[in-house]
Amino acid sequence: MNQPQNFDKDESHSLNSNSSAAEIRRRIEEKVKEIRSYTPKVGVFGVTGVGKSSLCNALFGKDVAAVSDVAACTREPKEIFIGSEGVGIKLVDVPGVGETIERDKEYFALYEKLAPELDLVIWVIKADDRAYAQAEKAYKEILEPNLKKCPVVFVINQVDKLNPLRDWDDAKNQPGSEKQKNIDAKIFEVSKAFDVSTKYIETVSVAEKYNLTKLMDTLVEVLPKEKKYSVVREAVEEVKSEEAEAKAEKGIWEAVKEFAGDAWDTAKDFAAEVIVETASKVIKKVWKKIFSWF
């Protein structure tokens, strides 16, 4: 599988301003290729029945094997590769804590082992869930210390099932005013329980195809600059916004700029040329907007 080197900044691999133009261009091409071909590893956390598989299907458009609903028996993470020719995304279906006391210790050890390998965590919570104590403990002890490398986005799923059940605006495909009040209360509840900003919490309904684009926008927003593109690349077209695609390209630009260091004045024209050349036809259409940000 085509898995590039660790993206953590390493000054020894930065460009040298004394290098020839040909060498600088070659290194820029290698860096852009590395970023564009990166295979991110995304942990999808949550207890049985929260809709992890259906959410992944909605975001990435593949048939992700459903988690067993029998006695919460997923004891090992299921790693699913979606892609072709070695380029894609790894989704790791991680069992949730709080279902059985016997397994929580086992799952905490699993989280500690897995956390350093992940680029992103999508923590799925069902809208009518109330028990967060063990999940909160796992988040604070294991995931929170590593947020800079591996951000966490909490996803409240199945919001269409919150009361009032029939309070849904079909024409606008959004909750009615009373249901929205309960959704807002749920966001506040999760924010308080995990002590996280509401900007890291999204609400969705896979069944209603509600808010999936906004969720993808948030995932792209929180990812490190050099990893934004890899997640957008694998998302289905229906959930990609022009803004997310533009931010992904901007992330490549900023990562290459950091990599170039003192050689940036020489490298920036090469960088623009290589990034545009390697962009998809769709992305090329938004490059005027992207350049307006620099």
Number of folded domains in the chain?
Answer: 2
Q: Are residues 138 and 266 in the same domain?
A: no
> Same domain for 234 and 247?
no
Asked if residue 250 is part of any domain, the answer here is yes
Give the tens place of pLDDT for each residue, 106-125: 999 999 999 999 999 999 99
My answer on whether 272 and 181 are in the same domain is no
Please give the chain's pLDDT, 294 residues, in tens: 444 445 554 444 677 777 888 999 999 999 999 999 999 999 999 988 899 999 999 999 876 654 433 334 456 688 899 987 779 999 999 988 887 788 898 999 999 999 999 999 999 999 998 888 999 999 999 999 999 999 999 999 999 999 999 999 999 999 999 999 999 999 999 999 999 999 999 999 999 999 999 999 999 999 999 999 999 999 999 999 999 999 999 999 999 999 999 999 999 999 999 999 998 776 766 666 666 655
Residues 212 and 102 both lie in one domain: yes
Q: Is the bond preceding residue 224 a cis peptide, omega within 30 degrees? A: no
Q: Report the pLDDT value the prediction gives residue 12, as an integer from 0 to 100.
A: 42
Residues 101 and 181 in one domain: yes
The answer to the question of residue 176 being in a domain is yes
Domain boundary residue, one of 224, 239, 254:
239
Indicate whether 166 belongs to any domain. Answer: yes
Is 192 within the bounds of a domain?
A: yes
Note whether residue 7 is domain-resident. no
Same domain, 48 and 32: no
- Do 154 and 217 sit in the same domain of this protein? yes
Q: How many angstroms separate the CA atoms of 93 and 171, rounded?
A: 34
In a domain, 6, yes or no: no
- Judgement on whether residues 195 and 263 belong to the same structural domain of the protein: no
Domain boundary pick from 200, 223, 239: 239
Predicted TM-score (pTM) of this structure: 0.90
Q: Are residues 213 and 256 in the same domain?
A: no
Percent of the chain scored above 70 by pLDDT? 86
Q: Are 30 and 46 within one domain?
A: no
Q: Is the distance from CB of 249 to CB of 287 less than 8 angstroms?
A: yes
Q: Are residues 249 and 183 in the same domain?
A: no
Q: Are residues 30 and 144 located together in one domain of the fold?
A: no
Three-state helix/strand/coil letters over the chain:
CCCCCCCCCCHHHCCCCCCCHHHHHHHHHHHHHHHHCCCCEEEEEECCCCCHHHHHHHHHCCCCCCCCCCCCCCCCCEEEEEEECCEEEEEEEEECCCCCHHHHHHHHHHHHHHHHHCCEEEEEEECCCCCCHHHHHHHHHHHHHHCCCCCEEEEEECHHHCCCCCCEECCCCEECHHHHHHHHHHHHHHHHHHCCCHHHEEECECCCCECHHHHHHHHHHHCCHHHHHHHHHHCCHHHCCHHHHHHHHHHHHHHHHHHHHHHHHHHHHHHHHHHHHCCCHHHHCCHHHHHCCC
Q: Which domain holds residue 230?
A: 41-239
CATH code, domain with 156? 3.40.50.300
5 within a domain of the structure (yes/no): no
Q: How many residues are listed for the chain in this entry?
A: 294
Residue 190 is assigned to a structural domain of this protein:
yes
Are the beta carbons of 218 and 155 closer than 8 angstroms? no
